[in-house]
Amino acid sequence: MSAKKIISVLGSTGAQGGGLVRAILDDPDGPFVPRAVTRNAGSANARALVELGVDVVEASLEDEDSLRAAFEGAHGAYVVTNFWESMSADVELAQAATAARAAKAAGVAHVIWSTLEDTREVLPVSDQRVPVLQGRYSVPHFDAKADADAFFRDSGVPATFLRPTFYWEGFAQGTGPQRGEDGRLVFTLPLGEARLSGIAVEDIGRTAYGVFAAGDEYVGTTVSIAGEHLTGAQYAAAFADALGEPVDYRPLTPDQFRSLGLPAGDEFGNMFQFYVEGEYDFVGARDLDLVRTLNPRLQTFRSWLAEHVETVRPA
């Protein structure tokens, strides 16, 4: 019988949880073994995990009994909710509450809850400059996670509050450089002169692995992570070097960005306004030396870009 401790991983078929499963597998002599949680063990991503020899179990954040069973016997649990599936803060809150109760009931010794800052500390809903979203939020996918911290704290389950940040993979989904009508590449973000903390998504799971491996050192604490903090001009310079042609940085104001009519444009406009106005605290909370201690393979933006340049190359 294996003496290894089980880490039950929500989101194992996705970006954050998948990174943690791979980080555990990357350390075959380490103390942990993953248990991958998915709603559908027959999906291509779940079957790929089975191929790697991972124990895959079905459970849902919408079904507390299933989740408790998925956590039973586990030492640790990684809990991530996917706001973007419902785009509802209330759904995200309910799912997080379910996970906290299930982890407590199963007697899990260490939960990592993937959370984010409460942007209302910088952009209160009384601030007339930003639209209030879903009745009580400035950036629902941040604020609901921050509100959900209380479920883990109040449940009494030993928890670490892991705060990731903007995935650089997002640059491959339309936020990277685009070719303007004059043929030049333009990198457009409503970031002003502020720094944007970013991270390679694979490093979130790797860093979570470091938190589990540190035992109870980070239980009860918030660990805020990033790979690097760069200004828009610095991102543009890195894109230019990787793409082999100039890239102009074009900062929009938050209002200009919100008025573009993009999907979830208010949500993202408010988020970037938070990054700019809350820059000092957001960047300051993310100590890259600490992150590198937890995850010695932590990638810089340029090292990530070297591997992913084709994903961001515009036509």
Closest approach, Cβ 45 to ligand NAP, in A, equals 6
The piece of 160-168, 236-244, 245-253, 279-287 that touches ligand NAP (CB under 6 A) is 160-168
Among 80, 123, 146, 159, binds ligand NAP (CB under 6 A): 80
For position 17 contacting ligand NAP by CB under 6 A, the verdict is: yes
24: DSSP letter: H
What is the closest distance, in whole angstroms, from the C-beta atom of residue 280 to ligand NAP in the complex?
19
Is the Cβ of residue 32 or residue 268 nearer to ligand NAP in the bound state?
268
Q: Answer yes or no whether residue 178 interacts with ligand NAP by CB under 6 A.
A: no
Cα–Cα distance for residue pair 116/90, rounded to 1 Å: 16
By CB under 6 A, residue 207 contacts ligand NAP: no
DSSP lists the bridge partners of residue 79 as 113
- Establish if 14 lies at the interface with ligand NAP (CB under 6 A): yes
Residue 90 engages ligand NAP in binding (rule: CB under 6 A): no
Alpha helices by DSSP H, listed for the chain, are 15-25, 44-51, 64-71, 83-86, 89-106, 140-155, 201-213, 232-243, 254-258, 265-277, 279-284, 288-294, 301-312
Applying CB under 6 A, does 10 fall inside the site for ligand NAP? Answer: yes
CB atoms within 10 A of CB 173: 10
User: Nearest 5 degrees, angle CA 196-CA 199-CA 201?
Assistant: 140
Contacts with 99 (C-beta within 8 Å, 6 or more apart), sequence order: 10, 61, 67, 77, 79, 81, 111, 113, 151
For ligand NAP, give the closer residue by CB, 150 or 184: 150
**Judged by CB under 6 A, does residue 275 bind ligand NAP?**
no
Distance of CA 148 to the CA centre of its chain: 15
Per rule CB under 6 A, count of chain residues that contact ligand NAP: 29
Which position among 11, 34, 140, 251 is part of the footprint of ligand NAP (CB under 6 A)? 11
Cβ proximity of 147 and 99 under 8 Å: no
Residue 227 in the binding site for ligand NAP (CB under 6 A): no
Binding site for ligand NAP (CB under 6 A): 10-17, 38-40, 43, 46, 60-62, 80-85, 116, 141, 164-167, 170
